[in-house]
Amino acid sequence: MMIIIKNGTIVDPVRKECYQGDIQIEGNQLTRLARETEGGLAIPEGARVIKAQGLMVAPGLADTHVHFRDPGFTYKEDIQTGGAAAAKGGFTEIVLMANTRPCVDNKETLAYVLAKGKNTGIHIQSCANVTKGMGGKELVDMEELSLSGAAGFTDDGIPLVDEKLVREAMERAAALRKPISFHEEDPALITNNGINSGRAAAHFGIKGSPREAEINLARRDIALARLTGAEVVIQHISAKETVALLRQAKAEGICVHGEATPHHFTLTQEAVIEKGTLAKMNPPLREEEDRLAIIRGIQDGTIDLIATDHAPHSREEKEKPVTEAPSGIIGLETALSLGIRELVGKGYLDMPQLIERMSTAPCKLYGLPGGRIEEGARASLVLFHPGERWTVGGFLSRSANSPFIGENLPGVVYYTICDGKVVYERARLKDE
């Protein structure tokens, strides 16, 4: 069926502009775009019309750091429920992490994940592990996994401490032209993970996780990126010093990317003092100076990827004592709203810049089909009202471990379209 999107504000992150106009979708492609100043598009007989007055129309969002817990932990999330949550949040491109059970260190598990992803209505890719069994000792067959469809490589969740092994992994990833991502937390320096070693740790009477744990491994991996030429991603940055290291590396022309989560650019360690385990995460929320440094890094392009690290856990797990409860929060259904409130609403980014960091840049890095809004491009879009507000809750995710529950946020997603098909739709009032 042909779809005509009428009178939307089109957000073009490549040309860095917004304009009023119409979009025509045929099959899985955007076949025509017309600015309002050009008279818009006629409506062919039989076409579905989506009235987008008041809505922004942008490329579907892309999240390259997601945990769907499938296989092995599907009581937290599975690929179907995770895909539904992603579509509700405006995401059409997802790259999964590999710390499942069994983990994605073999082509059979990778095939299982990719096959289930095809039934969600959105594009779901998966990284493979760097080491067998996530043991940090022996590299997987990266060549075989790349040929089997791995989008990249990571042992996210478990830092890699063997420098020689990390260098070899980078060299092989570079030869395969695949991104390799690193969870930068030196376990030798951490007593209690998930809580910042500072005011938050003191509040709970524990030692916590110091910033040096992240800084040390990030410094090492930036140096190895210089030597190997690999596309290295420093995941979920939490410390201002890591932002500074990354900025210097990019100035030197090193091929390294920075990733920030909405929770790290929104919250500080005060949130874990208030919310307890609902704000416990790895790496932990740190101080206001760190939060602002992350925002400045996003603003100047030092941090080029915004990713949720969507990490579902059951209520029973999160109700355990702070030293026992698992780290992580869900984020797919709140990410766009937090980006609008914290980055666009406060003047750090304009809307095309936000969408570039949440769609175009991650698609480019991982070779995903989205991220553009132009004739001939894939018809994968998100339509949202940037000013309309909603109250966080009622998740489509199987889990509800979010510190933002009950908050009133701007940015309501009304349609998510993937390959020309509406995969999420929120009812609008009849007079809209």
The count of C-alpha atoms lying within 13 angstroms of the C-alpha of 99, restricted to the half-sphere facing its C-beta, is: 19
End-to-end CA distance of the chain: 23
Q: One-letter amino acid identity for 42?
A: A
Please, are residues 344 and 350 in contact by the beta-carbon 8 Å criterion? yes
- Would you give the DSSP letter of residue 249? H
Q: Which two tokens stand for residue 31?
A: 């076949």
Q: Which two tokens stand for residue 140?
A: 């997987």
Q: Which two tokens stand for residue 240?
A: 């201002």
Beta-ladder partners of 95: 125
Q: What value, to the nearest 5°, has the Cα angle with vertex 423 and ends 419 and 428? A: 125
Please, are residues 154 and 236 in contact by the beta-carbon 8 Å criterion? no
Q: Annotated catalytic, 221?
A: no
Among 309, 350, 419, 431, the one annotated catalytic: 309
- Would you give the DSSP letter of residue 375? T
H or E element in which residue 199 lies = helix 199-204
Residues annotated as part of the active site: 309
